Structure 1
Amino acid sequence: MAEPSVSAVVLAWKDEPWLTRCIEALLASTGVAIEVVIVDNGAEGGSVQTLEKFADHPLVTVVNPGSNLGFAGGCNFGARSATGDYLALVNGDLLVEPTTLRRLVDVVDGPGVGVAVASVRMPDDVQIVNAGANPVHVLGMSWAGGLGKPETRTGLVDTAAASGACLVTTRAHWQRLDGFDEEYFAYCEDSELSLRTWRLGLRCVYVPDAIATHRYEFSRNPFKNYLIERNRLMLVATLWSPRALVVLAPAGLAFEAVGLAVALLQGWGGAKVRGWTWLWRNRGHLRARRRQLRGEGTVPDREWMRLLRADVDAVFFPLPVGLGLLNAVMRGYWAAVRWMV
């Protein structure tokens, strides 16, 4: 039988020292007919040399949109050049193991599966998770599930969100969803894609034995904080049910007030306000996007929203005091109102 054809989309952004190794690892994949689509999304330094190195490779296509489209737009641009039956999104600082793509393809081919996501591991210890089964909070936050913990699971795990660092879906499913909403630019677009998949009656599945190594460097800056906070609110505003927006409004408003206070203390209050400003100025897009997403779902809101969590992990929200109490209050609140969504 012919091997399944997989198009792996990789973004070349700035000077990425792992980009050459990333592409070489993809080309060494076994059990699939691989095609690598590299998007010049603002390549600099060594990344430019990598693009030149692979420009004439028979299994590599290099495309250039002319500017940095962000993660969402860059993936969309690359996917339009893909020819495989399956589409993989792979970060340029990530190395797949030879069997990873085929393992993800096999899972996507399983009954009722729409997206399969790899087990992304730390570079200095491949047993430690960087991103896995990623949670999504009822207020829109998402984070790397299992970060810093050893992976002991062997079976498939349903996940609310599939990390865009390394996932596989069918090209038909990607086209059905029309890819990412490019207004996200970066962050939360993979959460939206995943939740839309669940709303269509298909699962997002984390595959612990489909391993990829990530050159992980945690960082925060005002622009990143701006995108994360803005996009979190865009996700909730466009995808949550009307009833959910009403019953979660008190918690959401309280969270915004606390978030602004934290942002001011940490020196990125302007970025927080900038996010609110963007959402107001682009309310037409939010309305249109909401109409589109509310019209496409086939699964009742009460069912898919069971995937959402009401508590947060301390590793991502390191409040000095009170996190346990806040989590307990939020769990109780969500348990009390969830039946109304």
Structure 2
Amino acid sequence: MSLDGVVCSVVIPTYNAAHLIGQQLEALTVQEGAPSFEVVVADNKSTDDLAAVIESWQDRLPHLRVVDASRGQGVSVARNVGIEHASTDRILICDADDVVAPAWVRAFHQSLDDHTLVSGPAETVSLSGPSAGWVPIEQESTGLYQTWGGRTYGLGGNTAMRREVWEAVGGYDETFPAGAEEIDFAWRAWDLGYRFTYVPEALLHYRIRTDLKGVLRQQYNSGRGTATLYNKFRPAEVVPKSLPRRVHHELLLLKQFPWRGSGDARRMWLTLMAFEAGKLVEARRLDSPAP
């Protein structure tokens, strides 16, 4: 047990989210059946009025505080700093621009009684609107996400763990491109014998960028992360495409442009291309085959 009876820590990595974080903090004030918890906002070099916004919420969230996560740029830096400053051994991670459901804290806290690493479902429609249909992910997930070889992982902004997992894994890789850093963490945890457990009650409302430019940047970064993941682990079950196969693959994608499709269909095609571009650019930079 921790300071003032606090038994778990909610860590929120944050960068220039003063205009959005209030929705997440509001959600944390109405948690149902939750134990006493603290909220640690890890400020990753924000230049907006985040400090003033956080101060305005401290009467409603008495264990809310901001910690300086400016030693480097990136979500992995902020997560690591937030966890370092957390006062408990039960770490619940969410992002500043999303919204957790009312049972989120209770569900994750209880699940950590029996498990060391957990994640829950995410739905994308309520905060994202039409852009939820632009990206190739489920609009409401029903289980853990899977990668090569059946390895599972949880969404980085909807994860909880005991501190021992974070310490054993060595934290989030602060050099890893944003977009697949949670998969890298999950793979390293997997190699140490830690497995994600799915907690259906720990629902997260996930915000996809609502402007096309932001969505494309998000998918480009995800492609970069995928290429980095392959370069780092080189899973035997993944056979990189030869140059002729790669060219054929890209030409097929180009031919799939939905000339007669809806605007949303075209935007989805663009997001696929952004992912592919990020993957190829990063693979070239790393001098590694693209998966």
Tell me the TM-score normalized by structure 1. Answer: 0.62
- The residue type paired with residue 154 of structure 2 is A
Mapped partners of 2:191, 2:169: distance in 1? 11
Seen in structure 2, the aligned counterparts of structure 1 residues 212 and 176 have a Cα distance that, compared at 3 Å, is same
Partner Cα separation in structure 1 for residue 139 and residue 38 of structure 2: 27
Structure 1, residues 68-99: CA drift from partner, whole Å, max 9, x if none?
62111211121111111111110112222333
Shift of 1:159: 7.6
Give the match's secondary structure for 1:203.
coil
The within-5 A match list for 1:1-341 is 5-29=7-31, 30-45=33-48, 47-54=50-57, 58-66=62-70, 69-110=73-114, 113-122=115-124, 124=126, 129-138=139-148, 160-217=152-209, 219=212, 223-241=217-235, 244=236, 248-251=238-241, 256-257=246-247, 274-280=281-287
How much does 1:132 deviate? 4.8
Residues 120-169 of structure 1: CA deviation (Å, up to 9, x unaligned):
234539xx954453433439xxxxxxxxxxxxxxxxxx981100121110
Report the Cα distance in structure 2 between the residues aligned to 1:114 and 1:252, rounded to whole angstroms.
40
Name the CA shift for 1:92/1:221 in 2 (closer, same or farther; >3 Å).
closer
1:191 Cα deviation from its structure 2 partner: 1.3
CA contact (8 A) 1:15 1:44 kept: no
Name the Cα RMSD after superposition.
3.7
C-alpha distance 231-254 of structure 1, shift in aligned 2 (>3 A)? farther
* 3-state SS of paired residue (1:93): coil
- Conservation of the 8 A alpha-carbon contact between 2:224 and 2:278: no
Query: Structure 1's 121 and 133: CA in aligned 2 closer, same or farther, altered over 3 A?
Result: same
SS of match in other structure, 2:196? strand
CA distance in 1, matches of 2:147, 2:242: 11
What letter corresponds to residue 74 of structure 2 in structure 1?
G
Task: State, as a whole percentage, how many aligned pairs show the same letter.
Answer: 20
CA shift, 1:226, in A, is 4.1
Instruction: Choose 64-73 or 173-182, whichever is displaced more.
Output: 64-73
Q: Distance in 2 between matches of 1:223 and 1:95?
A: 22
Cα distance in 1, alignment partners of residues 223 and 15 from structure 2: 22
User: For this pair of structures, how many residues does the alignment match?
Assistant: 255
Note if contact 1:222-1:271 (Cα within 8 Å) is conserved in structure 2.
Answer: no
CA contact (8 A) 2:91 2:160 kept: yes
Report if the CA contact (8 A) 2:92-2:108 is conserved: no
Tell me, in whole angstroms, the C-alpha distance in 2 between the residues paired with 1:15 and 1:202.
32
TM-superposed CA distance for 1:279, in Å, is 1.8
Q: Is the 8 A contact 1:115 1:194 kept in 2?
A: no
Partner of 1:24, secondary structure, is: helix
Q: What are the ranges of 5 or more consecutive residues in structure 2 without an aligned counterpart?
A: 128-137, 258-269
Q: Return the alpha-carbon distance in structure 1 between the equivalents of residues 116 and 230 of structure 2.
A: 22
Counterparts in 2 of 1:258 and 1:226: CA distance versus 1, 3 Å: farther
AA aligned opposite 1:104: F
More relative contact order in 1 or in 2 (CA 8 Å, sep 6+)? Answer: 2
Cα offset for 1:54? 4.5
User: In the superposition, relative to structure 1, how do residues 175 and 193 fare at CA in structure 2: closer, same or farther (>3 Å)?
Assistant: same
Deviation at 1:228, TM superposition (A): 1.9
Gaps of 5+ in 1: 140-157, 284-341
Letter of the 1:77 partner, please give it: V
Deviations along 1:20-57, one digit per CA (max 9) or x if unpaired, are: 13123224433322111112224354645323424786
1:275 alignment partner, SS class: helix
Displacement of 1:272 in angstroms is 5.3
Does the Cα contact within 8 Å between 1:226 and 1:274 map onto a contact in 2?
no
Quick check: 2:179–2:224 contact (8 Å CA) kept in 1? no
Q: Quote the offset at 1:233 in angstroms.
A: 1.8
